[in-house]
Amino acid sequence: MSKKEIKQYILEDFYRYYGKQTNKKTYLRYAYTYPNIAFTRNLRLAKYYQDKNILKYIWYKLRHRKLFYKYSFQIPFETNIGRGFYLAHFGNIIINQSSIIGNNVSIAQGVTIGKTNRGKKAGCPRIGDNVWIGANAVIVGNITIGNNVLIAPLSYVNVDIPSNSIVIGNPAKIIPKENATQGYIENAINI
């Protein structure tokens, strides 16, 4: 990934929050004062500099770790996260580093995306594009969440979810619906 591409990823994350392109001064103000933006920015920069510049890598890794504990975003920078990542609220978001997250994914507070260590579904989830995950939802196991999926708050998901679906409850009840995330994925970036 080039420096231009990582900058674009960071600006796309920022766009998801405010829906407008901005100048550098405004961006920097929000990047250092708004916890969600500060966290995703440091997450992306730590991953980018990991193999490129050891001093910058250490700096961003330390900043990432500080915000990791301060705001309870337990998202390792090694996690494979697509463009337009949006953390709706800060607090108790846990994502396993082996999970794969697509583009235009919105995550609310209290969400856990984790690993299952045994059984047929041992492993971590793969989440598609344009997915909205509600508060306190739990997604575990080697499962695939399709594109354009809405996972309702307090849902427990440990099965594959097809694209264009709404998931509700525990155990997960799958309701097919075209445009399931329409009105939920705010300021989506074009992929």
* 36-50 pLDDT per residue, tens: 888 888 899 999 999
* Contact between residue 155 and residue 138 where contact means Cβ atoms under 8 Å apart: yes
At 156 the pLDDT is 97
pLDDT of residue 14: 87
pLDDT tens digits, residue range 65-104?
A: 998 888 889 999 899 999 999 998 877 899 999 999 999 9
